Amino acid sequence: MLTNETLKVIKERRSIRHYKEEQIKDAELQAVLEAGLYAPNAGGQALHFTVIQRKETLDKINYLAKENLKSHVVEDLKALGNDVNYHGLYEAPTLIIISGRKEFIPLEFDCAAATQNMLLAAESIGLGSCWVYFPMFAFDSTQAGDLLKELKIPMGYSPYCSLILGYKEGSAVDTAERKLNPITFIK
């Protein structure tokens, strides 16, 4: 099978859910953010990244998301909201929220592309990362407006994706095997 550094990083990246307390270096953060900026985009680069490294803010997002999950119609999500031991950000020291300008073109795709670029960049420099939808539940409440303001998300932008970053604690990997057959070739 043909391989190179990029293909290796793609295959080796896994969602990490155990992190060291130590904060990542600014140079590492900058490299990850820059990779996000270089993602393909349909919306004329109408993205905004919010980097959150203040522990109280991370805990607040965890708290608000869990409060909203407590009344979720999906039982498994409701259970997470009620699980006192669950921290939806896995105590990672850095959270990046990717917001897109609310407009006609669905910027969820732009945000997703930036997120994936950042996950791969993180892996390539030895950082742990995980795409987390969980923080989006924090914006599902009557307090959403206040949270958007507190996080300085620009007017007219909506958070669509987020990822956590940090140094990996142990080698926590429980990835489902990839099904290698969902591909049809028309030659």
Q: Counting contacts by CB under 6 A, is residue 130 touching ligand FMN? A: yes
> Are the beta carbons of 29 and 94 closer than 8 angstroms?
yes
Q: Which of the stretches 41-49, 53-61, 75-83, 124-132 binds ligand FMN when contact is defined by CB under 6 A?
A: 124-132
> Are the beta carbons of 98 and 159 closer than 8 angstroms?
yes
Instruction: List Cα–Cα distances, 126 to 26, 129, 158, in angstroms.
Output: 14, 10, 30
Tell me the one-letter amino acid at 162.
Answer: S
Q: Counting contacts by CB under 6 A, is residue 106 touching ligand FMN? A: no
**Shortest separation between residue 16's beta carbon and ligand FMN, angstroms:** 8
| Residue that has been written with the tokens 């795409």 in this structure | 131
Give the SS3 label for residue 105: coil
Total number of residues shown for the chain = 187
Residue from 58, 68, 123, 134 touching ligand FMN (CB under 6 A): that is 134
**Shortest separation between residue 74's beta carbon and ligand FMN, angstroms:** 13
Cα Rg for the chain, rounded, in angstroms? 17
Residue from 3, 4, 85, 175 touching ligand FMN (CB under 6 A): that is 175
Contact pattern for ligand FMN over residues 15 through 34, marking x by CB under 6 A? x-x-----------------
List of residues contacting ligand FMN (CB under 6 A): 14-15, 17, 130-134, 175
